[in-house]
Structure 1
Amino acid sequence: MELIGPGEEPAEGDDPLAALFTEGPSEPPSDPALARLFPDAYGGPDEVPDDATHAAAAEFRRYTENDLRTRKREDALAVVRALDALGPAGGRDGSGGTDGPRETDGTEGVGGTDATGGAAGPEGAADGAVLRLRPDESRQWLGALNDLRLAIGTRLEVTDEDESGELLRLPDSDPRKPMVMAYLWLGGLQESLIETLTA
């Protein structure tokens, strides 16, 4: 969320309708991770755009990037709020207790894991937590997980999926190792959530 930024909020007294039509930036971000999250709509990463392609990409970005940033912030906030509200055995009140049963209606557990990534305990276990997501929440989680992996992968300079094996073999003394483990774990969580949604 810090990388994406706080967003453009209308100043007090400003017309909120005018804020809806505020144009965004026309040039891609200089930070490589942000450029990966907000790529040009025209051309490719290895192409040198001609004037027409550059103009089309700039215009598309001007009218879409603010909305895209807003959606990415909302996805990230949904994840943060869900984890903040998580109590033992699926409680969602943030106090360590449960707030009663939630409507399931297509609800799925996230990858069969608790909030710390360990195996989820049985229902009612005091040492575990089970997070259940509705389909709309699952889509927000998938978006946020994807954004996290893209940002971390860019920082690690991951260019090919085959590099994950090489990254996994890094020695524990390598300062990139914690970020690599987070990258791989997030990928596993994302895959598990996709499998659950498509089952």
Structure 2
Amino acid sequence: MTGFTRHRRSGRIIANFTGFEADLLRSLAGQLVELLRNESAAPVEQDPLEAMLDFSGPTTEPEDPVLARLFPSAYRDDEEAAGDFRRFTEGALRDGKAAAAATIIDTLEDAGLPPELAEDGLMIDVEMEEPTAETWMRSFTDIRLALATRLEVEEGDEDYWATLPDDDPRGQAHDIYDWVGYLQETLVEALSE
């Protein structure tokens, strides 16, 4: 995997993933979708106009630390205003984040990633227009925030992660966090070309 680049002729954003890398991205995006959708209320069949005017979303900060990081309080010093803001916005924000993560899954599967685990030696060539690439970029931010929160990554703690043994699962998860950061960085560069 060499990261994202812009195709010279078509202007599309491209990347090549091994089957393992594509499966890993699909898994990360799928876990994010599941987290976002499991914590929210199940959609109820209702009139479309009523749905547009329904502001019965959550009013308190999520208990899950990842969700609390993805949906921080808008007003730290005003609990009532924070609750109102959350009630009016969190549902749509959750839906948007879940849709962005689902776009990663759909793009990978459209590029040939099989529904089951990819076979050894399989390469997945991803090619997308700018709007789709921007959606991936936003979802990478959410995936990295989720990983950083679960791992309790802090600024300036690189030495700690570097000293973990190779077989430590926390170090391996941190490597994934770094890898997604690398993908995001190359995607930003490709979009700015």
TM norm. shorter chain > 0.5 = yes
2:177 corresponds to 1:179: no
2:49 corresponds to 1:17: yes
Match of 1:28 among 49, 54, 61: 61
What is the CA–CA distance in structure 2 between the aligned matches of 1:190 and 1:131, rounded to whole Å? 15
4+ aligned runs moved over 6 Å, structure 1:
none
2:71 corresponds to 1:79: no
Q: Which runs of 5+ in 2 are unaligned?
A: 1-32
Match of 1:130 among 98, 116, 125: 125
Match of 2:83 among 50, 58, 80: 58
Higher RCO, 1 vs 2 (CA within 8 Å, ≥6 residues apart): 2
Q: Which runs of 5+ in 1 are unaligned?
A: 44-48, 89-93, 96-115, 117-125
Contact 1:42 1:54 in 2 (8 A): yes
Q: Alpha carbon RMSD of aligned pairs, Å?
A: 2.2
Amino acid corresponding to residue 9 of structure 1 in structure 2: P
What is the CA–CA distance in structure 1 between the aligned matches of 2:162 and 2:178, rounded to whole Å? 8
Task: Give a deviation string over 1:166-194, Cα, whole Å, max 9, x none.
Answer: 32331123221221111000000000100
2:71 corresponds to 1:38: yes
Match of 2:192 in 1: 198
Higher strand proportion = 2
Aligned residues: 154
Contact 1:168 1:181 in 2 (8 A): no
- What is the TM-score when the length of structure 1 is the normalising length? 0.70
What is the CA–CA distance in structure 1 between the aligned matches of 2:157 and 2:52, rounded to whole Å? 42
Identity of aligned residues (%): 37
Higher helix proportion = 2
- What is the TM-score when the length of structure 2 is the normalising length? 0.73
Between structure 1 and structure 2, the one with the greater Rg is 1
